[in-house]
Structure 1
Amino acid sequence: MADTAPLDERSDRDLLAQHCAGDPDAFGELFRRHKDRMWAVALRTCRDPELAADAVQDGFISAFRRADSFRGDSQVTTWLHRIVVNACLDRIRRIKPTSELPEYDLADRHDHHGSVDVRLDVQEALARIPEGQRMALTLVDMHGMSVAEAAEVLDVAEGTIKSRCARGRSALAELLRDKHGEGYPLPG
């Protein structure tokens, strides 16, 4: 028997199951619910809006086609994170790696609070650390995922996430200290 509750009241798991059973609207509701969060993940992962948009599209198409591969041993959002992060990594590997940041109008930068400079410095430093550390830090520190969730998304052990985060934070601190000295305000 089909669920008669409105789409926006159904759980993610129910929507995914209903999509697999042929409901033409169920996956659209999942997309509506999670597209912004997946966009944020992709943008922080790729650091390029165009690349991130392509990766989100790739990720949701993959999730749509492979919905029956969801085993139910995690949250649907964790499953979607993994698919989108993998789509990002696939896109990044296809292009020449770069650590350049987009151009910013310096006059405009000075009109903003100092946190803009801190954020730009952190983005620049993130671009210089190894991909595994960057991905772990992005998921745990920027997206607030638990170590267990990040481990599942990246398909590594929890200890690996802890280690990558610790090494990544240390590397970031060193890069920022090298640039600005000991008193540099690290975001927290």
Structure 2
Amino acid sequence: MSATARSDPELVAAHRDGDRTAFDELVRRHGDRLWAVALRTLRHREDAADAVQEALVSAYRRIDGYRGEASVSAWLHRIVVNVCIDRIRRERVRPTVPWPERDVPARGPDPVHELTTRLAVGDALALLPIEQRVAVVLVDVQGYPVAEVAAILQVAPGTVKSRCARGRARLAVLLGHLREVGA
């Protein structure tokens, strides 16, 4: 059976049994989404890369502790989110820098307006409390279902919903000026 045909739990079991390619396949399968969460949470490419690397090293070392209570994806995301939260708590004050997204081409008739909007949203997200920011990034930016985010964050689905609602309300105030510009 090829590595790509195996399920995540099968890859975890294969890794535990000494298959050197199994963990690599998990990284290939989930790495892009882990990176996106880290980048949008930390807002710095270097910090996000370091966080993902630290999280994957941690997952690699602690894979024997994976009990299968949540999906492998949720387990990996939880590790990345924890690393990101730890980094934010260690470095509370960071200068604001543009939110790079060179892989996403500008859309619409006004790329300058779109870039300005993207930067404003990134700046507003950075002002949210970390719990709200992580919930909004996972649900609204990355598109994860609330139940999966609840598993990643190890909280009740209602907690995810309330964090998102509070975060969205705060973003609406912080980004209200964009409605006036676009009107």
TM-score (normalizing by structure 1): 0.85
- Kept in 2: contact 1:176–1:184 (CA 8 A): no
SS at match of 2:69: coil
Counterpart pick for 2:68 among 58, 62, 72: 72
Q: How many Å apart are 1:99 and its aligned residue? A: 5.6
- Stretch moving more, 126-135 or 52-61: 126-135
1:31 aligns with 2:27: yes
The 5 Å alignment of 1:21-60 reads 21-60=17-56
Structure 2 stretches of 5 or more lacking a match?
Answer: 101-105
CA distance in 1, matches of 2:75, 2:49: 18
Structure with bigger gyration radius: 1
Aligned to 1:139: 138
1:150 aligns with 2:146: no
The 5 Å alignment of 1:119-138 reads 119-138=118-137
Aligned to 2:13: 17
Aligned to 1:117: 116
CA distance in 2, matches of 1:99, 1:70: 37
- Kept in 1: contact 2:99–2:118 (CA 8 A): no
Q: How many Å apart are 1:184 and its aligned residue? A: 5.4
Aligned to 1:176: 175
**Deviation per CA, 1:125-150, whole angstroms, max 9, x where unpaired?**
11112111111100000111111111
Structure 1 stretches of 5 or more lacking a match?
Answer: none
Q: How many Å apart are 1:61 and its aligned residue? A: 0.5
- Kept in 1: contact 2:98–2:119 (CA 8 A): no
- Kept in 1: contact 2:99–2:122 (CA 8 A): no
CA distance in 2, matches of 1:158, 1:97: 30
Aligned pair count?
175
Moved segments of 4+, more than 4 Å: none
- Kept in 2: contact 1:99–1:124 (CA 8 A): no
SS at match of 1:71: coil
**Deviation per CA, 1:92-133, whole angstroms, max 9, x where unpaired?**
2222333612399xxxx9x72522222111111111121111
Counterpart pick for 2:86 among 83, 86, 90: 90
Q: How many Å apart are 1:168 and its aligned residue? A: 0.6
Aligned to 2:103: none
- Kept in 2: contact 1:7–1:26 (CA 8 A): yes
CA distance in 2, matches of 1:163, 1:7: 39
Same amino acid, percent of matched pairs: 52
The RMSD of aligned alpha carbons is 2.2
Structure with larger RCO (C-alpha < 8 A, sep 6+): 2
CA distance in 2, matches of 1:184, 1:16: 50
